[in-house]
Structure 1
């Protein structure tokens, strides 16, 4: 052993001893070590301090802030209320739900914080259910510790281990890499705790009193307030209506003190200038010696309402109480409440007075105060908190237990959840680094008022931050001095020959035992490099070893001092040290066995391929996301030919339609007729394709179904022009020119932008833009399938938005207006109603699509080495090609001039003959595929003539024939698809599904924003099996537009929500008429490409666009931004 290693181990031993005895405290020990380590010469001072700039340290701090946002906005408290309501009388269900909720919430915030949140929740549950708190507290702490095994960001040790992997040159873990292990341990933990409950002390049920604080109901009873407090509704003929509180003079005339005003379900604070309205409910305190509530009612025409002891609890988020003592130094001594103007001075009302142990029951308004008097005050919680700041004249003596549950930031829960979902979505997608996603979440929470700068600083557990930063240099020091190798070699000598499972079990046990004496974060800092080195010595992958260390660091179940999580439940659960040994040790063994068996099963033990280093191009280890996509592709590509898939789906629809028909499935609903724009009451029943009518429909409809399938006609017409342009060489030259003039990074964004705008031409983008994007990528040396995926995402995934008005917009606006008129005939929206949101969505989705392409899809595909060639590359034009481009430009101007003449003048033939409109529902927009075809045809011919690639008209005809000659397989597929869609619609299954989903969502008892987000989710899911946008909206509009109008939501917001839900999954469903066409485009570059290939490519786009676009919608809604020009 070298001298340097001896010194480092000596310092480490001293740190462990100080950690174990907790003297001095752990963060102080870390700072001492941080100061002393550079004196050894093993690490420099800059290296010792590098932890303060480590991205993982910043991430941990940001996660503390995000967790505080969930607490301050009441998300955690709401989960507790939900838990109590769902548990019912079943203790088993209660325990299961409690552990699931705690672990779920802890997956995104500090386990210590989530424990602190749920201890009072557990005590309240214990009080309401009669269960001893000891039976709930240890399951809470166990679930909180298990939550650290759920996600990458759930606990600091996970991030420490992840950082150590990256430091050793490996990819880090994925966001959900931990989830399978955490989920299994959670299930085992819940089952184990059901059994282990009998080993826990029974104790007495303490309920909320376990906190040692009185409740609001206690004070109401002790001060006898139930006889004095009254709720009175202001009737329409009351003299109070239209007058302010000051003008009413209720205190002077009736001895009534107005404490609060209930208005529209909320309790507002009364001020002198607060005007009273018809229907207001007054909460008054009749403090007169002989209160006469009947006289008060008659005088002001008030209607009495019931007041229970739980009234304060019902409004505990808005109004509270406190007991305060008048100190000897107070300037209130000798003055009555009236003389001191107490109410206006403190914004509080005194409703009780005690002198010594005697409650003053006579009128307290004019009672002079003496030193030592105890006042019971009520009012807004912020005013109650204000008494804790200035203690010169009043000292807060007691606060109720409910104070712990009052929200500092009420009404922001939806915002906080939205910010958290955005952070998780960004972390999962990998679009930006995790720390950047967390900081963005903090920024948004601050912008929306969920947190402020002061609370953000207080939310961060600086002891944890300093502890990690101070201990991180030890991993460097041990690595340089050979300490890590010494530990790894020692383990190798002891157990290296015993097998990989024994090694993993030993590593888990050492980490868990070490965590009994020092913090689990410090344990991870020390054990992670040992695990990675040990894996290298065994010629194994470091990932199973690193995962074992992370899981073991969270398995701190064995003693009450193993983790702060355990310490928090000792008092409320009335536990002894031995209780943790008795319950925790067996569970730790269970977790050890489960981890050792499961980790090698899910994470390969074989060493990963080396990543790119020192400029050498080597394969990267696939992430969990990439492996998942590979699995999707393999499974998807094993399905039969698409024609066989749709034949199977046809058989499924036939059988399902008959089954639903036999059960008598039907729905009743209001629907808007798109033709007449009238509201019609409809009854839709399942129709069987095996009845006589169904069989006749299948036989006679075969040809009409195919002929009415517009996709085939659109494809052939477009290909006539595109084929000529491609055969002449125009497409190739245009792509090479685009590549030459565009920066490499910009091409992705340009193609995404053009793809989104292509929806102005209806479905033409599918036929034109998607293959062009693949060709452009091939010309740039990138994988053409990435270009095809990019084009498909832009054309299909963002189909419902544009910077221009489309024909589809006109139809959907009319349907929306018909739905509006069901509740408000005088109201309507126009074509520009959702324009601003649509306009903002375009650049937003361009960025999302481009980031997914560059960060996920292109790296996954890697370099292109396909079996067929893409278009020839090159960026230099010959003189003939330059001349051809000039001719093509002239041809483009000629077509533009032609259609300008046909559409721009008043009464032009391509305008709407009835309204004269050009944009929206007009012959030009409805037939836009024709000018697009002519643009490619004329430009292709002109280029060919100029470049010398076309010399005779016969060559033009030959190019057209060649373009459509390869469509035989596509035509057969479209024939089968058209029959499936027709049979599916005939059976009425889509309508039955849509109405059932709509009814379920409509019955949800949530606020408007959550209902809108739920609506988006329903539309997104339904779009996978029921793709026609207009048909779905015709069903949904009469259900949801009136509903949201009654909730005060702009109809334009409802339509915008529908657009958000209806687009992203267009890229995933083989029921999309053009899905098979995209498969064909992919096979030009990869002959093995199939349905699975496209689904795997498009899944990241669909998830990212769905989550982030819904997030943009929620932010737009919360900010109150205008949806359009109306």
Structure 2
């Protein structure tokens, strides 16, 4: 589990840096208590800066934002009366538990094992990891659900391949989270981000209209660039540091005729479900389309992705289990579902504490104030060209440690940077592309993204004593690698003057 520690082995500077992170990171408290301590620090900071009257002006609305003291009478009442609501309305809680019902049943009935034996494990070994990374990056089209579904499945694939499951889990999680803006198709995030870009641009040019696809060319190429980076980091950095896995491994035997029959019927059920979804989505007035615009990007279909993903795992698993006799009656089905949920106890505890911490941070207004102050600092530096946008990318990446939500960050930053850069002659599409890099690269390592705690919970299944330091050093190289390569790609794109997408020019027309 731990880093290779042979004293005779010469280590490079980067590996020594990771050793440092691992050593002191593992001294941090258990994640549950760490979130408790961070929550306490937030409460204390809210009291201190609230008493000092710390404020900032939202450049988009002109509204003055004040730090809210959460340790006075009103704050304490807010904390107590919203404690249960913070937990029950915590978005990742329901998402994780719902999806894991389906994934857990697929695992316990043997469906996932059979799928691996008949597909991935028979593919050329050199193509398995690149395929996994590509699927993970493309999986962000399903928004946060991919961060829940893919890591545990890829960990199982790695065990079956005789590789360390934490390496597979880290590769999947980091690829989804760190490559969150990259994709070969447009996702729900594209029009969402473009909407805030348009609002910011209209401060400078009231007639400006943002095309949701204005970064498409750049983000599609980014997808292909990030895949080899993730493969290199996994095989050359993460796996050597983790060493040989000493836990239980699963020896996959040949697929039996009964398993083949079960897999066939499970595949047929998947096709039927997909056919039904398409039938409810493709017709002009289909019920899964937006009732007013008729679109699919923002629609009931996108809002239904989580339950649909659960169904796509649940139904084939039940059919497979019936065929291979791992499910013979309703009681066994209930037992399998209970088993699927039994391993989520630690996650539920972490989710409870994390939900309170994030709520306190949002209520205090500390996040947007720090973001606005950071933007003012960057503006004061007077940079231009590539250095200017590298600075902006770094600011966005750092703010990710304070505000994980992509739309929430951009709602604050777009009214500052989009018109500011338009005054300097840069198009909103260029500013948005830079933002989306910064918004993505630190996703794997920010604790403000609740899925970090989920990934750590999955990791503890294979290494119960894994510390935050060891887990962080398995994710940090992806953030660094993605950041370096994405910035290089951005600089080349900028210097060549290639359009970022439809209506996505680098500079404003003269």
**TM-score calculated relative to the size of structure 1:** 0.44
- Aligned with 2:289 (options 911, 920, 923): 911
Does 2:15 align with 1:637?
no
Answer yes or no: is the 8 Å Cα contact 2:190–2:213 preserved in 1: no
User: CA separation of 1:691/1:745 partners in 2, compared to 1, >3 Å: closer, same or farther?
Assistant: same
Tell me how far apart the structure 2 counterparts of residues 806 and 875 of structure 1 sit (CA, whole Å).
Answer: 39
Aligned to 1:892: 270
SS at match of 2:219: helix
Tell me how far apart the structure 1 counterparts of residues 490 and 13 of structure 2 sit (CA, whole Å).
Answer: 29
Answer yes or no: is the 8 Å Cα contact 1:724–1:937 preserved in 2: yes
Answer yes or no: is the 8 Å Cα contact 1:780–1:873 preserved in 2: no
1:7-26 correspondence to structure 2 within 5 Å:
none
Answer yes or no: is the 8 Å Cα contact 1:739–1:875 preserved in 2: no
Cα distance, 1:837 vs structure 2: 0.7
1:552-567 correspondence to structure 2 within 5 Å:
none
Aligned to 1:953: 330
Does 2:107 align with 1:718?
no
SS at match of 2:291: coil
SS at match of 1:983: helix
User: CA separation of 1:1024/1:875 partners in 2, compared to 1, >3 Å: closer, same or farther?
Assistant: farther
User: CA separation of 1:803/1:926 partners in 2, compared to 1, >3 Å: closer, same or farther?
Assistant: farther
- Aligned with 1:999 (options 367, 373, 376): 376
User: CA separation of 1:926/1:747 partners in 2, compared to 1, >3 Å: closer, same or farther?
Assistant: same
Does 2:497 align with 1:1120?
yes
Instruction: Give a deviation string over 1:889-923, Cα, whole Å, max 9, x none.
Output: 111011111211221112111111110001x2111
- Aligned with 2:57 (options 668, 675, 683): 668
Aligned to 2:506: none
Cα distance, 1:739 vs structure 2: 3.5
Tell me how far apart the structure 2 counterparts of residues 1090 and 652 of structure 1 sit (CA, whole Å).
Answer: 22
Aligned to 2:446: 1069
Instruction: Give a deviation string over 1:49-94, Cα, whole Å, max 9, x none.
Output: xxxxxxxxxxxxxxxxxxxxxxxxxxxxxxxxxxxxxxxxxxxxxx
Tell me how far apart the structure 1 counterparts of residues 190 and 81 of structure 2 sit (CA, whole Å).
Answer: 34
Answer yes or no: is the 8 Å Cα contact 1:642–1:1091 preserved in 2: yes
Tell me how far apart the structure 2 counterparts of residues 922 and 875 of structure 1 sit (CA, whole Å).
Answer: 43
Does 2:363 align with 1:974?
no
Cα distance, 1:760 vs structure 2: 1.3
Answer yes or no: is the 8 Å Cα contact 2:225–2:485 preserved in 1: no
Does 2:143 align with 1:766?
no
Cα distance, 1:991 vs structure 2: 0.8
Answer yes or no: is the 8 Å Cα contact 2:121–2:161 preserved in 1: no
Aligned to 1:647: 36
Tell me how far apart the structure 2 counterparts of residues 784 and 722 of structure 1 sit (CA, whole Å).
Answer: 17
1:265-276 correspondence to structure 2 within 5 Å:
none
SS at match of 2:119: helix
Aligned to 1:751: 132
Answer yes or no: is the 8 Å Cα contact 1:802–1:842 preserved in 2: yes
Tell me how far apart the structure 2 counterparts of residues 859 and 803 of structure 1 sit (CA, whole Å).
Answer: 31
Instruction: Give a deviation string over 1:390-433, Cα, whole Å, max 9, x none.
Output: xxxxxxxxxxxxxxxxxxxxxxxxxxxxxxxxxxxxxxxxxxxx
- Aligned with 1:628 (options 6, 9, 17): 17
Cα distance, 1:642 vs structure 2: 1.1
Tell me how far apart the structure 2 counterparts of residues 827 and 690 of structure 1 sit (CA, whole Å).
Answer: 44
Cα distance, 1:1037 vs structure 2: 0.3
SS at match of 1:816: helix
Answer yes or no: is the 8 Å Cα contact 2:56–2:64 preserved in 1: yes
Cα distance, 1:1061 vs structure 2: 0.3
Aligned to 1:938: 315
SS at match of 1:822: helix
- Aligned with 1:1090 (options 455, 467, 470): 467
Does 2:438 align with 1:1049?
no
Answer yes or no: is the 8 Å Cα contact 2:346–2:457 preserved in 1: no
Give 1 or 2: higher strand fraction.
1
Tell me how far apart the structure 2 counterparts of residues 729 and 874 of structure 1 sit (CA, whole Å).
Answer: 11
SS at match of 1:921: coil
Cα distance, 1:953 vs structure 2: 2.7
Instruction: Give a deviation string over 1:622-676, Cα, whole Å, max 9, x none.
Output: 44433332332232222222111111111101111111011111011323xxxxx
Instruction: Give a deviation string over 1:120-174, Cα, whole Å, max 9, x none.
Output: xxxxxxxxxxxxxxxxxxxxxxxxxxxxxxxxxxxxxxxxxxxxxxxxxxxxxxx
User: CA separation of 1:837/1:875 partners in 2, compared to 1, >3 Å: closer, same or farther?
Assistant: farther
Instruction: Give a deviation string over 1:953-998, Cα, whole Å, max 9, x none.
Output: 3322222121112222211111110110010111110011000000
Tell me how far apart the structure 2 counterparts of residues 1016 and 763 of structure 1 sit (CA, whole Å).
Answer: 22
SS at match of 2:442: helix
Does 2:180 align with 1:799?
yes
Tell me how far apart the structure 2 counterparts of residues 931 and 942 of structure 1 sit (CA, whole Å).
Answer: 17
SS at match of 2:208: coil
Tell me how far apart the structure 2 counterparts of residues 608 and 700 of structure 1 sit (CA, whole Å).
Answer: 55
Cα distance, 1:1082 vs structure 2: 1.2
Tell me how far apart the structure 2 counterparts of residues 736 and 715 of structure 1 sit (CA, whole Å).
Answer: 26
Aligned to 1:472: none
SS at match of 2:62: strand
Does 2:400 align with 1:1011?
no
Answer yes or no: is the 8 Å Cα contact 1:724–1:940 preserved in 2: yes
Aligned to 1:824: 205
Tell me how far apart the structure 2 counterparts of residues 864 and 737 of structure 1 sit (CA, whole Å).
Answer: 24
Tell me how far apart the structure 2 counterparts of residues 878 and 720 of structure 1 sit (CA, whole Å).
Answer: 26
Instruction: Give a deviation string over 1:471-492, Cα, whole Å, max 9, x none.
Output: xxxxxxxxxxxxxxxxxxxxxx
Does 2:351 align with 1:962?
no
Aligned to 2:65: 684
Q: With CA pairs under 8 Å and 6+ residues apart, which has the higher RCO, 1 or 2?
A: 2
Does 2:214 align with 1:833?
yes
Answer yes or no: is the 8 Å Cα contact 1:1008–1:1044 preserved in 2: no
Instruction: Give a deviation string over 1:827-875, Cα, whole Å, max 9, x none.
Output: 2121111111110111111111111111111122222213xx24x2326
- Aligned with 1:988 (options 365, 371, 389): 365
- Aligned with 1:1110 (options 477, 487, 491): 487
Answer yes or no: is the 8 Å Cα contact 2:70–2:76 preserved in 1: yes
**TM-score calculated relative to the size of structure 2:** 0.95
1:162-201 correspondence to structure 2 within 5 Å:
none
SS at match of 1:1071: coil
SS at match of 1:681: coil
**Alignment length, in residue pairs?**
499
Cα distance, 1:934 vs structure 2: 0.6
- Aligned with 1:928 (options 289, 301, 305): 305
Tell me how far apart the structure 1 counterparts of residues 359 and 58 of structure 2 sit (CA, whole Å).
Answer: 22
SS at match of 2:280: helix
1:391-430 correspondence to structure 2 within 5 Å:
none
1:222-241 correspondence to structure 2 within 5 Å:
none
Tell me how far apart the structure 1 counterparts of residues 120 and 66 of structure 2 sit (CA, whole Å).
Answer: 55
Tell me how far apart the structure 1 counterparts of residues 187 and 85 of structure 2 sit (CA, whole Å).
Answer: 27
Instruction: Give a deviation string over 1:159-218, Cα, whole Å, max 9, x none.
Output: xxxxxxxxxxxxxxxxxxxxxxxxxxxxxxxxxxxxxxxxxxxxxxxxxxxxxxxxxxxx
Answer yes or no: is the 8 Å Cα contact 1:722–1:936 preserved in 2: yes
Tell me how far apart the structure 2 counterparts of residues 875 and 828 of structure 1 sit (CA, whole Å).
Answer: 57
SS at match of 2:333: helix
Larger Rg computed on CA atoms:
1
- Aligned with 1:698 (options 79, 95, 106): 79
Tell me how far apart the structure 1 counterparts of residues 303 and 381 of structure 2 sit (CA, whole Å).
Answer: 39
Tell me how far apart the structure 1 counterparts of residues 15 and 118 of structure 2 sit (CA, whole Å).
Answer: 33
SS at match of 2:205: coil
Tell me how far apart the structure 1 counterparts of residues 387 and 308 of structure 2 sit (CA, whole Å).
Answer: 44
Cα distance, 1:765 vs structure 2: 1.3
SS at match of 2:65: strand
SS at match of 1:949: coil
Answer yes or no: is the 8 Å Cα contact 1:912–1:922 preserved in 2: yes
Cα distance, 1:945 vs structure 2: 2.0
Cα distance, 1:608 vs structure 2: 5.1
